[in-house]
Amino acid sequence: MSSPFLYSQKIKTQAQALGFSSCGISKATFLEEEAPKLEQWLKEGRHGTMGYMANHFDKRLDPRKLVPGAKSVVSLLFNYYTDQKQKDTLAPKISTYAFGEDYHHVIKRKLKDLMAFIHKEIGAVGGRIFVDSAPVMDKVWAAKSGLGWVGKNTNLISKKAGSFFFIAELILDLELEEDAPVTDHCGSCTACIDACPTDALIAPYQIDGSRCISYLTIEFKESIPTKFKGKMDGWAFGCDVCQAVCPWNRFATPNTETAFTPSDEFLSMKAEEWTELTEEIFEQLFSNTALNRAKWTGLKRNIKFLNSK
């Protein structure tokens, strides 16, 4: 057996031991097919005010510009699905991925452990870890690595696990055994497109980020445009609609990561408690969660917009 194969098996076994649900590998090359798509998406302004999406265009398309001498991209999935719900159905909705500790912290710790394992078991391997915070096209790499396909809702979808998972990467200067991509299984289904409250899914496999509720409630820092009044479906932070309606998520199973367990205090919050939320209580409850991305001021803005007539 060749070293690339053995190394790949070692890394995949350890990734599973660390709690990652899937691990796939692809060759670190220039993303030729994605270049014109990304260029057109940016040209049409689909990124809204997310100026960073237009930055580092070359690095976004070529991992070798992020890690000199890179040979492999190791893509990893981490399940965050939960069957726990907010108890008050009238309360502002919070996206499932923000229920527990901020995933950046949780997954970064695991990736550091995986890198330490690689250094111990394989040797002086150069590389970097990434969790949704650098110019890496994570869904594209995960699809190239055989972990699923990019669906009509523009999320990565797995036949065995749905789409409620985080995507992370190791970009390494180590040659590894590549995995083959899987085929698309969206078929004629348009559930996600039909259900999107703000019509952000402008066509199959195409999203206008500037219309997405996740963008409007997290990334967008100005006043939410009045044209979205009555269309936010109660979401105050993120949105799960296009995933919740996806038939493949019937295979999603609850995560077992204790750091993602939501507190009873959060799940029990009533609508009026959200409206009256003070900065002090926000810090107590959410300073270590992804909700801190919007900050207290952003969350209050979103709730006020939901309650406005």
Q: What is the pLDDT of residues 114-150, one digit of tens each?
A: 999 999 999 999 999 999 878 899 999 999 999 999 9
Residues 110 and 254 in one domain: no
Separation between Cα atoms, residue 304 and residue 238, nearest integer Å: 15
In a domain, 90, yes or no: no
In a domain, 177, yes or no: no
Count of C-beta atoms within a 10 Å radius of residue 230? 11
For the chain, which ranges sit under pLDDT 50? 1
Q: What is the pLDDT of residues 29-67, one digit of tens each?
A: 999 998 888 888 878 878 777 776 767 788 889 999 999
Residues 68 and 202 in one domain: no
**Residue 51: domain span:** 3-83+101-172
Separation between Cα atoms, residue 270 and residue 124, nearest integer Å: 53
Q: SS3 letters for 239-294?
A: CCHHHHCCHHHHHCCCCCCHHHCCCHHHHCCCHHHHHCCCHHHHHHHHCCEHHHHC
Separation between Cα atoms, residue 165 and residue 195, nearest integer Å: 20
Nearest-5° Cα angle at 258, 252 to 262: 80
In a domain, 278, yes or no: yes
In a domain, 9, yes or no: yes
In a domain, 206, yes or no: yes
pTM over 0.75? The answer is yes
pLDDT at 2: 62
pLDDT at 88: 98
Residues 214 and 259 in one domain: yes
Q: Considering the chain, what percentage of its residues have pLDDT values greater than 90?
A: 88
Residues 202 and 249 in one domain: yes
Q: What residues are labeled active site? A: 132
